[in-house]
Copies of this chain bind each other. A is one copy, B any other.
Amino acid sequence: MAHDSRATPEPSEGPIRVILWGLGAMGKLMARLVLSDPDLVLAGAVSRRVRDGLAGPVDIAHIAGLNRPTGVMASATLPEAVARSGGARVVLHATGSFVREVSGEIEACLEHDLNVVTIAEEMAFPWVAAPDLADQLDRLARSHGRTILGTGVNPGFILDTLIAFLTVAIGHVELINAKRVNDLSPYGPTVMRTQGVGLSPDEFRRGVEEGAVVGHVGFPESMHLIAKALGVKLSSIEQSREPIISSVRRETPHVLVQPGYVAGCRHSARGYLDGRVFIELDHPQQVRPEAEGIETGDFIRIEGYPSVSFRTGPELPGGIATAATAVNMVRPVALSGPGLLTMLDFPLPHGSARRQSEVAVNG
**A interface with B by C-beta (< 8 Å):** 29, 32-33, 36, 39, 153, 157-158, 161-162, 164-174, 227, 229-232, 273, 278, 304-306, 308-313, 316-317, 320-321, 323-325, 327-329, 343-357, 360-361
In angstroms, Cα B352 to Cα A343, docked, is: 17
- B320 near A305 (CB under 8 angstroms)? yes
Chain B proximity of A174: nearest CB distance (Å): 6
User: Chain A at the B interface: mostly helix, strand, loop or mixed?
Assistant: mixed
Q: Report which of B33, B229, B357 forms a contact with A348, defined as CB distance below 8 A.
A: B229
- Report A249 CB to chain B, min CB distance, Å: 29
Q: List the B side residues contacting A355 at CB < 8 Å.
A: 171-172
Of all chain B residues, which has the CB nearest A327?
A: B171
A58 to chain B, nearest CB (A): 25
Contacts of A39 in B (CB 8 A): 231
Q: Given A36-B171, A36-B172, 10 more contacts at CB 8 Å?
A: A167-B352, A168-B350, A172-B360, A232-B353, A304-B357, A305-B361, A308-B312, A311-B313, A343-B348, A348-B349
* 5 CB-based A-B contacts, threshold 8 Å: A305-B361, A306-B320, A308-B312, A308-B316, A346-B348
Nearest Cβ on chain B to A316's Cβ, whole angstroms: 6
- Other-chain residue from B229, B230, B313, B351 in contact with A230 (beta carbon distance below 8 A): B351
A229 proximity list for chain B (CB < 8 A): 348, 350
A331's closest neighbor in chain B, by CB?
Answer: B231
Contacts of A345 in B (CB 8 A): 347-348
Query: Is A153 touching B169 in the complex (CB atoms < 8 A)?
Result: yes
Instruction: Give the CA-CA distance A210 to B144 in the complex, in Å.
Output: 62
- How many Å lie between the Cα of A216 and that of B153 in the bound state? 34
A328–B164 Cα distance when bound, in Å, is: 12
A165-B350, A311-B311 as given contacts; A172 in contact with B325, CB under 8 Å: no
Residues of the B chain whose Cβ atoms lie less than 8 Å from the Cβ of A316: 169, 306, 308
Task: Pick the residue among B171, B313, B324, B329 that contacts A171 (CB under 8 A).
Answer: B324
Partner of A168, one of B168, B169, B328: B328
Asked whether B168 lies within 8 Å of A325 as measured between CB atoms, the reply is yes
Min Cβ gap A76→B in Å is 28
| Chain B hits for A227, CB < 8 A | 353
Q: Cβ of A360: which chain B residues have Cβ within 8 Å of it?
A: 171-172, 305
A322 to chain B, nearest CB (A): 8
Contact B311 A351, beta carbon cutoff 8 Å: no
Q: Please report the C-alpha to C-alpha distance between residue A316 and residue B304 in the assembled complex, in whole angstroms.
A: 12
Partner among B29, B278, B346, B356 whose Cβ is within 8 Å of the Cβ of A353: B278
CB distance from A318 to the nearest CB of B (A): 10
A347, closest chain B residue (CB): B345
Q: Is the CB of B348 within 8 A of A164?
A: yes
Query: What residue of chain B has the Cβ atom nearest to residue A157's Cβ?
Result: B169
By the criterion CB–CB under 8 Å, are A171 and B273 in contact? no
A171 pairs with B353, CB closer than 8 A: no
A166 to B158, CA, bound (A): 9
